[in-house]
Chains A and B, each alone.
Chain A
């Protein structure tokens, strides 16, 4: 079941959109904002709200890497692994992160604090290597500087 606040926010998003199914991604984002991820049950609920099939909603949910279909940590560490960051030594940063967090790509730390994900070129190439924690951007990364960044997120 969708919660009342979820329903209210989804309707608010759909208000501006015709037809309603155009708001599928917006609706998925609302559920994810409230739950951290999008469970099967809510996929079915959204299908009803939008007037489409659950498979159509899931087809969209699974297409986008930042709509999560399984639980994730409280914070998402997304590391750019694309060309400019690769040239500037993203692998060293990645290995430092793996060592520190004890998880690799797709993994969530045991305390559910962080999930580690790759992200495609985040447009911070002049400050490569770069990563994001949730919506915050960090560049010119060094292996030593990683710890300090992570400490800001509890």
Chain B
């Protein structure tokens, strides 16, 4: 390994998983040290101590935004000041194009998520927890339901958990599609049985969430880290990382690399190491062109910046992109960047909830222009229209962060792939498609 501080054996999130791909059952989980953190937290810590521990561990939200988990929890009204019921929600609506890490975490170690949720619920004194799962994750749903039954059976859920006096009900909500449901306030509307469009913020869900009650929405990977922090302490957790952000990160690579997949590595592992050492570099006959580093709503990154450590701050400051979900999609040199961008913007146009005008009207316009370029009908003035949209749809011009995310890859593509745009327009064709039938 290239770094002295690297401790490759420490893979808290995936270390317990079975090689056969089957989920870890409750007995096996307990045998490997599972639910010890729950007993420790509920048995010997106060909610405030759990919050402080997680805050000190520098655990940042793994859903993409990277907000400090402990800090988010600290906004929840506590004790006598709080209204009940309070809610905890696992955002298991993984649908960011190119992201496939939460599926693995839930399918292969469901109790890790449940334990993380019970401890988190204890830390914010929540009464009810939901796992908000996307429709397509049906195997996940079966596995989580079975694990919930096991956890109830063993007294890790329900009344008086592990004799602590703390009680929590936990359920799975199976959704029926729509990316916007992963936006935390749209998710709340979905759970309330309303049309799932985002809500205005403030008030924030931490104080006024589900049915107006205090609510925390955390990503699956964020929650899965919690038991390990409680077990081993903040110093250990920070020591796992190569950066200021604590912990490991489940990185992923898809596209034309030799070994696409997921790799649990220290937070802040350089992109080049992930792409070359872990994903094995490009397949024979393909060259590297660029990557989308953290799911569809992140800016393209060119190879000259692959030395960037993949942590929240470095990805913003150095690579001018974002860590996002940490799952990389590779654009190879035989694939059209405008075609890839078109696929992305079509996704965003289709998934827009339609609530606010810039998003509802702007995204289909972007997608149509890109589609016409692919068909050889692009015009020189289209570039200006696309560029204008990167301003029209930016943050604070729209109701939520959906459209600002959607224009991130467009923004960098206009800069990085100028020559491709020019050729599409001047040659009235997509040259990548020649010979592909």
Please, which residue of chain B has its CB at the minimum distance from the CB of A61?
B176
Q: Would you call B347 and A128 a contact (CB within 8 A)?
A: no
Q: Would you call A65 and B176 a contact (CB within 8 A)?
A: yes
Q: Would you call A86 and B260 a contact (CB within 8 A)?
A: no
Asked if A122 is an interface residue, CB under 8 A from chain B, the answer is yes
Query: Which one of B99-107, B221-229, B269-277, B377-385 is at the interface?
Result: B99-107
Q: Would you call B98 and A65 a contact (CB within 8 A)?
A: no
Q: Known: A120-B95, A124-B100. Is A83-B343 also a contact (CB below 8 A)? A: yes
* Residue from A50, A63, A66, A84 whose CB has the most chain B CB atoms within 10 Å: A84
Residues on A with beta carbons closer than 8 Å to the beta carbon of B329: 83-84, 87, 125
B23–chain A nearest beta-carbon distance, Å: 16
Residues on B with beta carbons closer than 8 Å to the beta carbon of A78: 136
What are the interface flags for B157-186 relative to A under an 8 Å C-beta threshold, 1 for contact and 0 otherwise? 000000000000001001111110000000
Please, which residue of chain B has its CB at the minimum distance from the CB of A18?
B211
Interface positions, chain A 41-69, Cβ under 8 Å from B, are: 50, 56, 59-60, 63-67
Q: Known: A87-B330, A137-B139. Is A126-B262 also a contact (CB below 8 A)? A: yes
Asked if B396 is an interface residue, CB under 8 A from chain A, the answer is no
Q: Known: A63-B178, A121-B96, A123-B103. Is A25-B190 also a contact (CB below 8 A)? A: yes
Asked if A150 is an interface residue, CB under 8 A from chain B, the answer is no
Q: Is the interface of A mostly helix, strand, loop or mixed?
A: mixed
Asked if A107 is an interface residue, CB under 8 A from chain B, the answer is no
B267–chain A nearest beta-carbon distance, Å: 21
Q: Would you call A119 and B136 a contact (CB within 8 A)?
A: yes
Interface positions, chain B 163-215, Cβ under 8 Å from A, are: 171, 174-179, 190-196
Residues on A with beta carbons closer than 8 Å to the beta carbon of B386: none
Please, which residue of chain A has its CB at the minimum distance from the CB of B169?
A16
Q: Would you call A125 and B347 a contact (CB within 8 A)?
A: no
Q: Identify which of A50, A83, A127 contacts B347 (C-beta below 8 A).
A: A83
Asked if B145 is an interface residue, CB under 8 A from chain A, the answer is no
Q: Would you call A64 and B176 a contact (CB within 8 A)?
A: yes
Q: Known: A21-B193, A66-B177. Is A121-B95 also a contact (CB below 8 A)? A: yes
Q: Known: A22-B191, A126-B261. Is A121-B256 also a contact (CB below 8 A)? A: no
Asked if B137 is an interface residue, CB under 8 A from chain A, the answer is yes
Residues on B with beta carbons closer than 8 Å to the beta carbon of A109: none
A120–chain B nearest beta-carbon distance, Å: 6
Q: Would you call A66 and B135 a contact (CB within 8 A)?
A: yes
Asked if B340 is an interface residue, CB under 8 A from chain A, the answer is yes
Asked if A135 is an interface residue, CB under 8 A from chain B, the answer is yes
Alpha-carbon separation in the docked complex, A98 to B211 (Å): 45
Tier of interface size on chain A: 35 or more
Q: Would you call B332 and A60 a contact (CB within 8 A)?
A: no
Residues on B with beta carbons closer than 8 Å to the beta carbon of A101: none
Q: Would you call A123 and B255 a contact (CB within 8 A)?
A: no
Q: Would you call A123 and B330 a contact (CB within 8 A)?
A: no
Alpha-carbon separation in the docked complex, A118 to B254 (Å): 20
Alpha-carbon separation in the docked complex, A28 to B335 (Å): 41
Residues on A with beta carbons closer than 8 Å to the beta carbon of B175: 25, 64
Q: Would you call B98 and A83 a contact (CB within 8 A)?
A: yes
* Residue from A78, A124, A125 whose CB has the most chain B CB atoms within 10 Å: A125
Q: Would you call A60 and B177 a contact (CB within 8 A)?
A: no
A-B contact list, 7 entries, CB within 8 Å: A16-B171, A25-B193, A60-B194, A88-B254, A121-B95, A125-B99, A137-B139
Give the interface of B toward A (CB within 8 A): 94-100, 102-103, 135-139, 171, 174-179, 190-196, 252-256, 260-262, 292, 296, 327, 329-332, 335, 339-340, 343-344, 346-347, 350-351, 353
Give the interface of A toward B (CB within 8 A): 16-17, 21-25, 28-29, 50, 56, 59-60, 63-67, 78, 81-84, 86-88, 118-128, 132, 135, 137
Q: List 11 additional contacts besides A122-B136, A123-B102, A123-B136; criterion CB under 8 Å.
A: A28-B176, A63-B353, A64-B175, A66-B135, A66-B176, A82-B344, A83-B292, A87-B343, A120-B95, A123-B95, A123-B99
Nearest 9 Cβ contacts at the A-B interface? A125-B254, A64-B176, A86-B343, A135-B138, A126-B260, A24-B193, A83-B97, A123-B100, A65-B177
